[in-house]
Amino acid sequence: MDPIRESESSLPPGHARSSSWLGQWQRLSPLARDIVIVLVVKVLVLCAIWFTFFRTPVARHMTMEPREVEQQVAGPGAHPEPAHAVR
């Protein structure tokens, strides 16, 4: 028997060379590999941007209360509707 086959048969069932992540990576189509690479790069870039710019506020004295932000974003309460419609 081939020595490589013997070493593969001595490995536990989940550790066979054909089922390793490298084997699965090689079975992917080139398009799928490109998509995975692009997604990984995007996640790394987004994490770097968040870590660089948004991790903590630069000026700690410039924080606002959540209620003030809510009022600015949502605006004042709903305007009451008139009792009858104007045509």
pLDDT for 11: 55
Give 1-32 pLDDT, tens digit per residue. Answer: 455 555 555 555 555 555 587 788 788 898 98
Q: What single-letter amino acid sits at 64?
A: M
Q: Is residue 3 part of a domain?
A: no
Q: Is residue 33 part of a domain?
A: yes
Q: How many CA atoms lie within 13 A of 40 on its CB side?
A: 6
**What is the extent of the structural domain holding 61?**
29-71
Q: How many domains does the chain have?
A: 1
Q: Is residue 64 part of a domain?
A: yes
The pTM score is 0.45
Q: Is residue 39 part of a domain?
A: yes
Q: How far apart are the first and last CA of the chain?
A: 93
Q: Is residue 87 part of a domain?
A: no
Q: In angstroms, rounded to a whole number, what is the distance separating the alpha carbons of residues 16 and 32?
A: 23
Question: Predicted confidence band at 39 (pLDDT cuts at 50, 70, 90)?
Answer: very high
Q: Is residue 46 part of a domain?
A: yes
Q: Is residue 47 part of a domain?
A: yes
